[in-house]
């Protein structure tokens, strides 16, 4: 989806009906999944992953893990009781979506993608960042 006039692609997935719900639990499993995903799509970790547990409402309990990439960021939020997860990958580098779904199948077994969005970000991104930033600031100050 990325072309020369955008900064990069932003993929978001909501997956449900995850067969192997145990794969959604625990700090190591969730962060290991994120590290493997980043490796599979050919990116590099700058910082993280940082992984934390949400312990609130029993149906909303789960784990979140985020990594800052040299190419942008990647995050996952899991809900073991619901058998669901959200995945977010943003990058200035193109990445193979099929590699992501293959890894998710390996880890989670069967699942359903109930929401998917692939969006170009940074429309009209070009080589003259200072000029573009000045133009953006001007449009913001006019509002």
Q: What is the pLDDT of residues 30-58, one digit of tens each?
A: 999 999 999 999 999 999 999 999 988 87
For residue 63, what pLDDT is reported?
94
For residue 108, what pLDDT is reported?
96
What's the residue count for the chain? 143
Which residue has better confidence, 89 or 70?
89
Q: What is the spatial distance between Cα 93 and Cα 138, in angstroms, rounded to a whole number?
A: 28
Tell me the two tokens of residue 91.
């990058």
Catalytic positions: 72, 77, 92
For residue 125, what pLDDT is reported?
61
| Residue 97, CA distances (Å) to 11, 54, 82, 124, 136 in order | 8, 28, 24, 23, 31
Q: What is the spatial distance between Cα 17 and Cα 124, in angstroms, rounded to a whole number?
A: 38
CATH of 8-141, one of 3.30.559.10, 3.30.420.40, 3.60.90.10, 3.40.50.1260: 3.60.90.10
Q: What is the spatial distance between Cα 79 and Cα 26, in angstroms, rounded to a whole number?
A: 11
φ and ψ at 96, to 5 degrees? Answer: -85, 110
Name the 3-class secondary structure at 47. Answer: strand
Kindly state the percentage of the chain with pLDDT values over 70. 83
Q: Which strands form 8-16's sheet, in the order they lie side by side?
A: 45-54, 62-69, 72-79, 84-91, 8-16, 112-121
Question: If pLDDT is split at 50, 70 and 90, which confidence band does 1 have?
Answer: very low
- pTM of the shown model: 0.79
């Amino acid at each position: 989806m990325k072309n020369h006039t955008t900064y990069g692609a932003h993929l978001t997935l909501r997956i449900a009906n995850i067969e192997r719900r145990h794969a959604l639990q625990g700090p190591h499993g969730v962060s290991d999944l994120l590290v493997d995903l980043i490796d599979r799509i050919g990116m590099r970790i700058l910082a993280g992953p940082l992984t934390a547990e949400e312990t609130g409402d029993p149906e909303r309990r789960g784990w979140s893990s985020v990594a800052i990439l040299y190419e942008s960021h990647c995050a996952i939020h899991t809900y073991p009781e619901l058998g669901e997860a959200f995945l977010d990958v943003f990058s200035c580098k193109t990445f193979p979506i099929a590699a992501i779904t293959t890894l998710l199948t390996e880890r989670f077994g069967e699942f359903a993608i109930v929401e998917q969005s692939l969006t170009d970000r940074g429309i009209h991104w070009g080589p003259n960042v200072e000029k573009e930033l000045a133009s953006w600031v001007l449009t913001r100050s006019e509002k």
